[in-house]
Amino acid sequence: MSAGSFYITTPIFYVNDVPHIGHAYTEVAADVLARWHRQSGDDAWLLTGTDEHGQKILRTAIANGVTPKEWADRLVETAWKPLLETVNIANDDFIRTTDERHEVNAQKFLQHLHDEGHIYTGEYEGYYCVGCEEYKQTSDLVDGTGAYTGQLVCAIHSKPVELLHEKNYFFKMSAFAERLLALYEENPNFVQPEAARNEVMSFVKRGLSDLSISRSSFDWGIKVPWDESHVVYVWFDALLNYITAAGYGQNDEEFASRWPATHIVGKDILRFHAVIWPAMLMAAGIEVPKQVFGHGWLLVGGEKMSKSKLTGIAPSQITDTFGSDAFRYYFMRAISFGQDGSFSWEDLSARYQSELANGFGNLASRVIAMVLRYCDGTIPALSEGTAGDFTADDLAIRATEQRVTDAATAFIDTLAIHDALASVWQLVDELNGYITLQEPWVLAKNPESRERLGTVLHTAVRGLGTLAVLLSPVIPVATGKLWTALGGDGDLADQRVDRAWEWTGGAKVSALEPLFPRIESIVEPADG
RNA sequence: GGGGCGGUAGCUCAGCUGGUUAGAGCAGCGGACUCAUAAUCCGUCGGUCCCGGGUUCAAGUCCCGGCCGCCCUACCA
């Protein structure tokens, strides 16, 4: 409602991952929220990007015979930026952790913490697998068998691991446990949804230990400013993107105008954002984020979709057939944002057909076709006498337009994107019912009911306009076409979504191709 | 082991602080209509609310005990 900064972020992609619909889901949710706020008069800013440091990337780069930076460049250009295009993300910025603005200012942040006494030298102790060339967590280790009985062995190599010690720098995170708990208590919205908040709180209540934030066993990362033999632990590095992209360290004015941000993250990385990240900011004397929202998993066949298993689905598999709008609509509508949601091709095609094609798309087609056929394309207007006074039925439509606009706006404020869409769809259904009931095709046959025909079509067109605006953050392509066909003024993306129902109609309509054509046969990509 | 969440019509899900014959959408079935993408509209079929106890005048909704599934239990980028 009120104009202000709305800075929203997605996690940054780990470049070595393969893009799947889970990544795209997060992006779409953040994009919908950003577009909605942008169209509500806020200074909305959507940030996404890539996380490019760490040992794994170094290793795969070497295996591919290129430098890690070249490897990251390749993946950014061939995988991640294309993903954003595939699902039509209108991000305002794209940060890479190899950007100079990130590396330089992340170092400033680290130096600041060091100067303020939040960092100390300690010793990291961990199990190291020579085969993997990396430290393993105990969860990655299994009991040895045969010659190694009684020893811990690497689950991958089945060979004993060594207990190694390494000098590390530690962040005194333990000092912030009380302040974090106070934050969760005083600001229940800081971590959402509720289940996520509970988990974070119970985690912190068990006590926090300090965080090892540097590594010296490899060098692909940001150099620790006071000791260049160490690089910054990748998570510490990655989290800082949210402020380095907003001007931290180099543009105080910009930073002050954007920060704090709303972070949209998958629930797997909730803790990094809801515990470590605010602790880092507290240490640096920077305001904590506005909110951290952990969304659920996409379940495929009842299981968590996995990059390593074969259940990963590339977004383009869906968009090639259904288009980016349908992708966006489906995941935003079918899944309660914050909860796990099941994906199936059957559900996707069923919703596409009934809700997008038969519901919204057909509504647009029939209204525009009638204005073209019965009124020669001229939208009937009350002021010109081509439409008469409103009846109770007409006013009921107008009232619904206002009601769903307000309801959707309220839902978006709580990040309940699915509920916002459900509200808007009440208007879709009501308009279809209204048209069937008013029978404009009957009115058109009788010259005496000419004015009534005008009122009905006028009302229907305005309803469609309201829908175009309300749905533009979710299905920008289709609504853009509709807006044009309705003769709407200016760019649809500039229309105020929180006042969508106030649109009074254009002058003439123009022909409109089916927005969501029927898809006769769904070819489900075959895979394991 | 400890903690959290969930198990409601064929499918996906709503059901707030316990209260009339448990709801929606989709699918199915019947009818109406023709402006529209064989679409829309109306009607209709359909549920031991996981199981067993308990509290209560009253429980899907609270308590206890089971069964099943998922998640968290720190450095997986």
At A82-127, the pLDDT tens digits run: 999 999 999 999 999 999 999 999 999 999 999 999 999 988 777 7
Q: Tell whether the model's pLDDT for residue A528 goes beyond 50.
A: no
Longest dimension (CA), chain A: 98
Q: How confident is residue A349, by pLDDT bands cut at 50, 70 and 90?
A: very high
Degrees to nearest 5, angle at CA A413 with A408 and A414? 100
Contact A265, A295 (CB under 8 A): yes
Chain segment A261-305, per-residue pLDDT in tens: 999 998 888 999 999 999 999 999 999 999 999 988 888 776 676
Total domains in the fold of chain A: 1
A218 touches strand B (CB under 7 A): no
How far, in Å, are A148, A227, A489 from residue A214 at the CA level? 32, 10, 55
Task: Assess if residue A368 is contained within a domain.
Answer: yes
Q: Which nucleotides of B are covered by protein (CB under 7 A)?
A: 3-5, 11-14, 25-27, 32-42, 69-77
Catalytic residues of A: 20, 23, 129, 132, 154, 157, 304, 307
Residue A508 pairs with which residues in a beta bridge? A378
ipTM over 0.85: yes
* Nucleotide closest to residue A373 (CA–C1'): B35
Task: Assess if residue A442 is contained within a domain.
Answer: yes
Q: Which of residues 174-203 of A touch strand B (CB under 7 A)?
A: 174, 195, 198-199, 202-203
Chain segment A393-437, per-residue pLDDT in tens: 999 999 999 999 999 999 999 898 999 999 999 999 999 999 999
- Averaged over A452-457, what is the pLDDT? 96
Q: Which of A174-183, A314-323, A329-338, A458-467 has the highest mean pLDDT?
A: A458-467
Task: Assess if residue A390 is contained within a domain.
Answer: yes
Task: Assess if residue A484 is contained within a domain.
Answer: yes
Give the CB-side neighbour count of residue A39, counting CA atoms within 13 A.
Answer: 27
Task: Assess if residue A64 is contained within a domain.
Answer: no
Residue A266 pairs with which residues in a beta bridge? A295
Q: Which of residues 443-502 of A touch strand B (CB under 7 A)?
A: none
Task: Assess if residue A224 is contained within a domain.
Answer: no
Task: Assess if residue A85 is contained within a domain.
Answer: no
The 3 state secondary structure assigned to A31-64 is HHHHHHHHCCCCEEEEEEEEECCCHHHHHHHHHC
Q: How far separated are the first and last CA of chain A, in Å rounded?
A: 47
- The Cα–Cα gap between A193 and A295 comes to 8
Give the CA A378 to C1' B73 distance in Å. Answer: 66
Domain of A456? 345-502
Give the CA A481 to C1' B15 distance in Å. Answer: 38
Specify which residue's alpha carbon is closest to the C1' of nucleotide B27: A350
CATH number of the domain to which A472 belongs = 1.10.730.10
Cis ω on the peptide bond leading into residue A68 (within 30° of 0)? no
Task: Assess if residue A212 is contained within a domain.
Answer: no
